[in-house]
Amino acid sequence: MINQSVLNHIKQIVPVENLLVNEPMSRHTTFKVGGPADLFIRISAKEQLISLVPFLRKLELDYFVIGNGSNLLVGDRGYQGVILSISECLNGINIKDDCIVAEAGAMLSRVSELAASQSLAGMEFASGIPGTIGGAVVMNAGAYGGEMSSITESVLVMDSKGEEMVLSNETMEFAYRNSVVKNRPYIVLAVTLRLAKGDAAQINQKIDELKKRRREKQPLEYASAGSTFKRPPGKFAGKLIMEAGLRGFSIGGASVSEKHCGFVINEGNATALDILEVIKEAKERVYDRFDIKLEPEIIFLGDF
């Protein structure tokens, strides 16, 4: 619980209308589940983060930065700490020549559409990923043969002391669904992308083709966090889960998608615990049958 003196100090940094006490996280995740966060803060300027993070760290208060909540499962009992939300306000985008500078809260889909409008190629793969640019570089998001590592020139980050630094592509230490930011107490503030001049019609055609493939192969009609598991070396998580006999397997309101077994979905009335138990069952069944350990892509936060 956030006491009044702490709340009063935070009100000096962030407008009071951007502070939500005991805010249900089900409103802020694509899984549509999650109990209340002690304090939910809508960040509207990076200066707020620069002031808030060292303050919270000094008080040893837990905090977590979210974008679109598209890679996150928050427990039913909520999160005892402060959620710093960047997607609603910290989302500016600037384009100059073949470079795009996007603030961390900018949606990948929006950046991709703006790139296409300027005949810039290279972001087509990201057009259907339901996350923010900040989260995408943290986990080196990718799809259909493309990854953020291939188009990221540099990343502006902030450390836990509120100090800013620029990380080059090489310094980011990109790997499959991983980066240096994922493993250190850095917060992404903005990302510089280097794209290539192309033909607008061809770029938009590719985006349309990938959107069609997603609609046909992914359970987009249900709440989910996208692909639930990382791809095991030389294998596909969805295929392993299907071959383990878990297509359509359900607990409560959560299930393994019949359309694509790599997705755990909320059929409408799932709890976070339901989803967690389906994930655990998939991991156990695949390990028992194939001796392969599935690793979730999603982040687990709070108390279940």
Q: What pLDDT, on a 0 to 100 scale, did the predictor assign at position 89?
A: 84
3-state SS assignment for residue 57: helix
Residue 1 has pLDDT above 80, yes or no: no
In this predicted model, what pLDDT tens digit does every residue of 17-66 receive, in sequence order?
999 999 999 999 999 999 999 999 999 998 999 999 999 999 999 999 99
Catalogue the active-site residues: 177, 227, 297
Confidence band (pLDDT; 50, 70, 90) for 88? confident
Q: Would you give the end-to-end CA distance of the chain in angstroms?
A: 17
Residue 156 has pLDDT above 90, yes or no: yes
Q: Which residues are CB-contacts of 5 (< 8 A; sequence separation ≥ 6)? A: none
* Six-digit token string for 118: 């300027």
Nearest residue to 158 via CA among 292, 30, 6, 43: 43
Q: What are phi and psi of 24, to 5 degrees?
A: -60, 125
How high does pLDDT run on average in the chain?
95
Q: What pLDDT, on a 0 to 100 scale, did the predictor assign at position 128?
A: 85
Q: What is the mean pLDDT of residues 209-226?
A: 94
Share of the chain above pLDDT 70, in %: 100
**Whether the predicted model's global pTM rises above the 0.85 cut:** yes
8 A C-beta contact, residue 82 and residue 56:
yes
